[in-house]
């Protein structure tokens, strides 16, 4: 008999308790055991992107003021674009997973629109 909230992953060909999703970038399923580590990983990617964005923008500002030599300013421009996209993408992931944690849902349950209608109680919440 299958436990509640267990799901089978067709990519990994395994069953997981509280399976959230299969992550193609990490090459594994995000489920009960590794979900906290995944959330910390995504948060660190977001913070690193914001840090990279801040350092690159500050370098461009210092070059514009004339206090820094103009060597490598094109690298900072590319880094601003890359870090901006990285921060938007990873920030969206952080926001989504904070929302699923607050509702005590998995991403699969949230995307299937189970227990997301106001008034419907999550039967798995305490």
List, by residue number, the catalytic residues.
Answer: 23
Residue 109 and residue 18 in contact, taking contact as beta carbons nearer than 8 Å:
no
Q: Name the nearest CA neighbour of 48 among 76, 80, 11, 83.
A: 83
DSSP label of 122: P
Q: Name the nearest CA neighbour of 52 among 75, 94, 81, 83.
A: 83
Residue 35 and residue 18 in contact, taking contact as beta carbons nearer than 8 Å:
yes
């Amino acid at each position: 008999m299958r436990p509640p909230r267990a799901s089978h992953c067709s990519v990994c060909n395994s069953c997981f308790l509280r399976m959230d999703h299969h992550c193609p970038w990490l090459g594994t399923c995000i489920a009960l055991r590794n979900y906290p580590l995944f959330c910390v990983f995504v948060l660190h990617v977001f913070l690193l992107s914001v840090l990279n964005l801040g350092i690159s923008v500050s370098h461009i500002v210092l070059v514009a003021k004339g206090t820094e030599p103009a060597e490598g300013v094109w690298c900072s421009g590319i880094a601003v674009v890359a870090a901006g996209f990285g921060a938007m993408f990873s920030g969206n992931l952080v926001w989504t997973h904070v929302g699923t944690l607050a509702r005590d849902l998995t991403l699969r349950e949230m995307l299937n629109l189970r227990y997301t209608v106001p008034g419907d109680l999550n039967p798995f919440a305490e």
